[in-house]
Structure 1
Amino acid sequence: MNEIIRIRAPWKTIDGSVSLPISKSMANRIIMLKAYSGELNHPPDDRDSGDTTLLKRNLQKIAQQNDEGEPVRVDCGNAGTVFRFLLPFLAKRNGTWILTGERRMLERPVGPLVSALNSLGADIEYLEENGYPPLRVNGKTLSSGEVKVDTSISSQFVSALLLLAPFLESGLSIKKTGENVSGSYTSMTTSLLRSAGISVSVDGDITRVFPGIINTTMLKPEYDWSSASFWYTVVALSHHGTITLRGLTPPERSIQGDSSVAGIFRSLGVFTNNTDDGLVIRKSFSVPTITRIRLNMRSTPDLVLPVVTAIAGLGYGALISGIDHLRYKESDRIRALITELRALNAYIDYAEKMLVVHPSDIRYLRPVNTYNDHRMAMAFAPLALISRTMEVRDPGVVMKSYPEFWSMMEELGFEMIRI
């Protein structure tokens, strides 16, 4: 945990290609639909993220248990998707389960999902603080019906119920209450259900999922747009750089909400073109005249870090709204982002639920702390292009979503020194 990676930017113009991981958001949803259909053993894949590997291991462990004896401990680390997706699955599966995780996971709310499941007849109890893990889950048959879910903290509560819904006798009707954050991920889940042959109707805040048999052969994950966003930051901060994103689905065809990063970075002078080899992103030779950018990122929280570090590195100003739920991610990302950018001489504040970035001159002053958060490491690494050198603590955190990130940086000409 004390390891530091020193990143030295290349002197030559960046011109290369990178491979991307499979979208862990899509992969984990597909794996859960297969698990509900009875397929719990999934072979490892070199393209898997750390979260997907953890989900596969936990499902294999669950498959090996019977419903007798002591409660079975299922550890989800700091993977919110894994924890929240497994909760309804275990609530419906015979056995007694202790669902837990790392310290940070125990600080991440799960109350709205527990309340919704208990209203369907689940038997879930809190073992420590109400509303938070760890949980004791006594598996049993769940009923169909209607549930209300507060979506102001996480869309994963809704997605977890959507994945469960086709396997209930009469399906499920879900009413979203509160601010609808990360809505693009809910849309991804409904798109996958429809691709698998499940009937889904959406009417405002109410989503109705009908029971059915999943056609898992129709479910194919895309390469990850969330991971691609960090290469947009690299190109934005480069001197007319070009990167090919191999195999990435064009934004107009992708079901990933984070494909909107292409449009956001266009305003920062990065253009996206489709080719036979993948998407090519290029820094424009004409520099956009920008004083301040205003963005609402309520539906795309995973883009906040790469977008904000790019804006800060370019010396622009910005007003970013719709991000209060970032406090409940792998780290408190609002606090972490502000702390680490200020340590690099940036002028940034959070007031009235708005992140305010003032034009600044980024300088390397000390290693960047990553708070056990993969996206912090990958978002700050490209700032080496501004300061020529950047140091990042605990570089291994990228294993959670993008194990090849540092080797891809090297392929683009960055020098990586572990100290």
Structure 2
Amino acid sequence: MKARSKNQPDWEARSPWSKYNNKQTVSVLPHSGGVDGDITVSGSKSLTNRALIIAALAEGTSTIEGILKSDDSYWCISALRELGIRVEVQGETAIVEGAAGKWPNQDCELYVGSAGTIARFLPGALAAGTGTWKLRGSKQMSERPLAPLLDALKSMGAVIHYEEMKGCLPLTLKAAGLQGGLANVPGSTSSQFISGLLLASPYAREALTIHINGGSVQPDYIKMTIDMMRAFGVDPIINNDGQTISVHPARYKASSVILEPDVSTCGYFWAIAALTNGRIRINGITAKTLQPDIELVEILERMGCIITRGDGFVEVHGTGQLKGGFTHSMKRCSDQTLTIAALAPFADGPITLTDAAHIRHHECDRITAVCTELGKLGVRVEEHPDGLTVYPGVPHAALLDSHDDHRMAMALSLISLRVEGIRIADPGCVSKTCPDYFDRLLALGIGVDFE
């Protein structure tokens, strides 16, 4: 069977760290027994790119252990190197020689791939310096909004020319430093706009105060940014229950940091335990992590799984029959909406997921996309403006579209553990966050068939 996603992959966005790009489709084979394993997952994508950009802005040489070697981090490192920053990668460790907020290369073109973190974190860091840079990304990234961040940067002195669509890549940014002052930023679309300003804020000429209008849909990611800033010697001041954050002029100092595993990726492996009545322990992570997707284990517990929250690990034991019949807000852990949607057909009652409207603006419209693909499997599903309801059913074989979205591909692959004949187009898209995903399944004894 030959197939290609109707959402044609942007091959330029696939980095040398990607795998499976020569594969048309993938099928994860049904697994009759419970999957059992202890594993370690690579570092957090979100933490990796925060640490890399801060280290590049810092004074001195930093060591970042446990980086995620995926497309998003590859393009972040590539952009920093284009800017003249020396970054050496040894295994899963990056050694970064910071430039103290002064970019060595002040006139170049920077490519961000499909990485929202780079597209939202790098402009502020550039605007805090001096130079003129052109930023471009994949077709997918060029359709995602940047206006709230870029409008704030313009109000503080950055000059931005849009090459095509206003508020989107590609663009040219001309900078002579940031003035500082007050920035009002909406929190309803993405916390990355706020994080992008925070990362650059110590290098403004005056104190920068960020006021979040209406609250943030993902406040945990803002806390992750603040914690990473503190690890490099800058301490933001938080007021009004997190609605206002102030940063005085300062300089990041080089640091050595060890990154946690990526909890968003951990979720697929915990879900494997849930679906197969198996056991998966992931080492190097605790339930106290700030990464918001750790809420998934609470949902799995609600579905009948047994969770062990240990000192340095989280373990999920599956159940013979997943429980449904509930509604859950995905506001905090929206990246796991697709994961739960993939488990839901096998529950004993319908599951409704809410408060995830913003995932319509990620790599694809994830709500519509997962409803479409579940429908191809014969699963009854209702789409809502902010989520979906999935009913119990018996999925049948089908060729599914990954929508050039890593989370769609990995979530849909879970269903194959219980259903024969499911194939997913363009398995290479997983390289955005977990390039070796299918190899990891093989290592757990799960059959994987490529075409």
TM-score (norm 1): 0.91
Q: 1:245 aligns with which of 258, 282, 289?
A: 282
Q: 1:261 aligns with which of 293, 296, 301?
A: 296
Change (3 A) 1:279 1:300: closer
Change (3 A) 1:46 1:410: farther
Q: 1:397 aligns with which of 429, 437, 446?
A: 429
Shift of 1:328: 1.1
Contact 2:43/2:66 (<8 A) preserved: no
Following TM superposition, the consecutive aligned residue runs of length 4 or more in structure 1 with deviations greater than 4 angstroms are 38-47, 64-68, 274-277
Change (3 A) 1:63 1:39: farther
1:319 lines up with 2:352 in the alignment: yes
Q: 1:343 aligns with which of 376, 386, 409?
A: 376
1:310 lines up with 2:324 in the alignment: no
Aligned ranges 1:76-115 → 2 under 5 Å: 76-115=112-151
Distance in 1 separating the partners of 2:74 and 2:66: 8
User: Per the alignment, in what secondary structure is the counterpart of residue 63 of structure 1?
Assistant: coil
Q: 1:121 aligns with which of 157, 163, 177?
A: 157
**What is the one-letter code of the residue matched to 2:305?**
V
Unaligned runs of 5+ in 2: 5-23, 86-102
Distance in 2 separating the partners of 1:215 and 1:129: 37
Shift of 1:315: 5.1
Q: Which residue of 2 aligns with 1:367?
A: 399
1:12 lines up with 2:63 in the alignment: no
Unaligned runs of 5+ in 1: none
User: Per the alignment, in what secondary structure is the counterpart of residue 109 of structure 1?
Assistant: coil
Shift of 1:12: 2.8
Query: Residues 187-239 of structure 1: CA distance to partner in whole angstroms, max 9, x if unpaired?
Result: 2112222333322222231111233333442533101111011112211211x
Distance in 1 separating the partners of 2:252 and 2:104: 25
Change (3 A) 1:45 1:39: farther
Shift of 1:46: 7.8
Q: Which residue of 1 aligns with 2:90?
A: none
Shift of 1:276: 6.9
Shift of 1:298: 1.8
Q: Which residue of 2 aligns with 1:232?
A: 270
Query: Residues 314-367 of structure 1: CA distance to partner in whole angstroms, max 9, x if unpaired?
Result: 353122111111111111111111111111111112234342222332222x22
Distance in 2 separating the partners of 1:373 and 1:46: 21
Change (3 A) 1:120 1:307: same
User: Per the alignment, in what secondary structure is the counterpart of residue 300 of structure 2?
Assistant: helix
User: Per the alignment, in what secondary structure is the counterpart of residue 418 of structure 2?
Assistant: helix
Shift of 1:109: 0.5
Contact 2:44/2:68 (<8 A) preserved: no
User: Per the alignment, in what secondary structure is the counterpart of residue 317 of structure 2?
Assistant: strand
Contact 1:344/1:363 (<8 A) preserved: yes
Shift of 1:178: 3.6
Q: Which residue of 2 aligns with 1:332?
A: 365
Aligned ranges 1:208-223 → 2 under 5 Å: 208-217=246-255, 219-223=257-261
Q: 1:31 aligns with which of 52, 58, 61?
A: 52
Shift of 1:139: 2.1
Change (3 A) 1:128 1:136: same
Distance in 2 separating the partners of 1:41 and 1:72: 24
Shift of 1:185: 0.8
Shift of 1:116: 0.5
Change (3 A) 1:210 1:106: same
Q: Which residue of 2 aligns with 1:48?
A: 69
Q: Aligned-pair RMSD on alpha carbons?
A: 2.4
Contact 2:399/2:422 (<8 A) preserved: yes
Q: 1:376 aligns with which of 397, 408, 418?
A: 408
Change (3 A) 1:390 1:40: farther
Contact 2:62/2:254 (<8 A) preserved: no
Contact 2:401/2:424 (<8 A) preserved: yes
Distance in 1 separating the partners of 2:27 and 2:275: 18
Aligned ranges 1:266-281 → 2 under 5 Å: 266-274=301-309, 278-281=313-316
User: Per the alignment, in what secondary structure is the counterpart of residue 355 of structure 1?
Assistant: strand
1:182 lines up with 2:234 in the alignment: no
**What is the one-letter code of the residue matched to 2:438?**
W
Query: Residues 118-155 of structure 1: CA distance to partner in whole angstroms, max 9, x if unpaired?
Result: 11111112121212211110121111111011122111
Q: Which moved more, 1:9-18 or 1:294-303?
A: 9-18
Distance in 1 separating the partners of 2:159 and 2:389: 44
User: Per the alignment, in what secondary structure is the counterpart of residue 381 of structure 2?
Assistant: strand
Contact 2:65/2:258 (<8 A) preserved: no
Contact 1:23/1:225 (<8 A) preserved: yes
Shift of 1:177: 1.4
Contact 2:45/2:262 (<8 A) preserved: yes
Q: Which residue of 2 aligns with 1:412?
A: 444
Contact 1:42/1:56 (<8 A) preserved: no
Change (3 A) 1:67 1:13: closer
Distance in 1 separating the partners of 2:142 and 2:66: 29
Distance in 2 separating the partners of 1:39 and 1:79: 26
Contact 2:186/2:212 (<8 A) preserved: yes
**What is the one-letter code of the residue matched to 2:118?**
V
Distance in 2 separating the partners of 1:66 and 1:334: 42
User: Per the alignment, in what secondary structure is the counterpart of residue 387 of structure 1?
Assistant: coil
